[in-house]
Amino acid sequence: MSLMFTGIGVSRGIAIGDAYLLRRNQIDVTSRSLSKKSVPVEIRRLKRALKIARQQLLDTRDNIPKDAPTDVSSFIETHILMLDDDALSQRPIEIIKAELINAEAALQKQREELGRVFGSMEDSYLATRIDDVNHVIDSVLRALDGGAEPVVGSENWKGQIIVADDLTPADTVAMQHHGVAGFVTETGGQLSHTAILARSLGIPAIVGVSNIRRYVKAGEILTLDGNAGMVLAEPTAEMLTNFKRRQKETRLQQKELGKLIDTDAITLDGVALKLSANIEIEDDLKALKRVNANGVGLYRTEFLYMNRPTIPTEQEHYKVYTKVVRALKGETLTIRTADLGADKQLSGSAAAASAVASRPLSHNPAMGLRGIRLCLSETHLFIPQLRAILRASAKGSIRMLIPMLTNISEVEQCLQLVEQVKQKLRAENIAFDEKMPVGAMIEVPAAAISAHLFAERLDFLSIGTNDLIQYTLAIDRIDDQVNYLYDPLHPAVLHLIKMIIEAGKAAGIPVAMCGEMAGDVRYVRILLGLGLTDFSMPPNLILETKKTLIAARRATVKKQVIALMATAHTPEERHRILDKINSVTAK
């Protein structure tokens, strides 16, 4: 009998293969009391486990194929850095000493403490951080239990669909190496590390399929639809034939996308579009060039501050920015100033070097001292970056984007700081672009409603939909209990986006979108109908987005979006209209 399961499709594609159930032994974290005399032995045991876990990650990193996307190695590097961080390398030792308990129990206590901290956050990177912490701690616990548990049978993975509770970055690297057809996990969300890696590696994947391992048997035929988030176990002959046909069509479509690299991004009714890339590290430039993106619409700079013993210097910032802007060869680089806070906290010596370390921990960091709030509070963190951005602007086309703005007074403070830095650079006879554009990241409902005021004072606006949607709907989309409420088509969300776009038009300044919605082909025509023509997204989504948009007529889509906002009062009604909008293809 065929069984159907639904989850969250996080990586597109059709997969057909036998089910491989990946199970791991339960990790024992039972607390045991220690005598003071045995504490040094237990600490040595923990340190040895940390060393083993670290070496395993280094081995995994060394085995990553050279042509693998940068996301793969970056996740492994993140885990290595976490193992070196005081939160895992020192704090459990302190717990062992203070509470006289074994290493497993100390690690579990630290896991629970970190879970409480991360659990109060609503930042869009939260799921990845929680997953990373748990996977790193689990790797140390397994090392304490005699070594990491090997993934048995991985040499037989080729062509199979892996079914698991969750997957580590090392598992995912192994999957690419062994040629799995796809995977399904019981946990995870759109922004979990598993989802991000699956998209980077092009592995069809579905996450959040609760309890699937209870019903699926090893060796059963599975079909996986990463677009619809649907898994079929033991499909009928007719179903299987249909899936094979769709799988072939999907592969042909991927090949066809490559033909769009040099195609102009223009709608059927002549509306010119700008499709730029979101990048974070230098290697992302390679992917950007492969798809012929229109520059960089969002350059995240938080990586410069993270997992390091000191705060980055002005010269460090400058070297990175100039290298990127030169590589763009005339295309524009939009640099977002440091969006620290929430899950992107300074730690160790870097935190100690700033006043941040002395501040009490926020109960809800996502709504606390983060983004521009932190930068304006700790200007010694902010000014070196401002100087570096301005200096780099003499080397190419650069725009500066300010995150997490909520009111005009913050805009004024930023512009005053920028002018002060400019005056000092002039006095030092250091070149910079006097007219370097400064823009606002509109990601807070208050800023969206006041967008006309921001547009009067700034040179451009950029919409950050990840936080805007979550703040507007008061939900965390990676919380399994409420993520069903995450709805980019909610009337309130669409009205806010429309307000921002219209505010930019009225002031005669550009409006872009760099949130995840800008690269989601389900919604890009909706955005086109709202008036958006400037989209920024991960490089690997650009060609698919281009294909969707150039097959549309903005005039037609605009009428459909007006109808959606005026008459569709339920999610079901909105998705019916959405399906109609997306069903039209170029003739």
Supply the residues annotated as catalytic. 193, 514
**Strand partners for 402:** 440
- Assess contact for 339 and 302: CB atoms under 8 A: yes
Do the beta carbons of residue 126 and residue 343 sit within 8 Å?
Answer: yes
Q: How far apart are CA 350 and CA 336, in angstroms?
A: 20
349 vs 365: CA distance, rounded Å: 20
Could you tell me the CA-to-CA distances from 28 to 43, 44, 142 in Å, in that order? 18, 19, 9
Cβ proximity of 231 and 5 under 8 Å? yes
The C-alpha atoms of residue 47 and residue 89 are separated, in whole angstroms, by 8
Residue 183 is given by DSSP the state: E
CA separation (Å) from 402 to 7, 364, 413, 435, 437? 36, 21, 12, 16, 11
Any residues with CB less than 8 A from the CB of 262 and at least 6 apart, and which? 292
Return the residue matching tokens 């997953």.
131
Q: Can you read off the two tokens belonging to residue 75?
A: 């996740």
Read off the amino acid at residue 356: V
Only one residue has tokens 């776009």, namely 501
- CA torsion through residues 256, 259, 265, 270, sign: negative
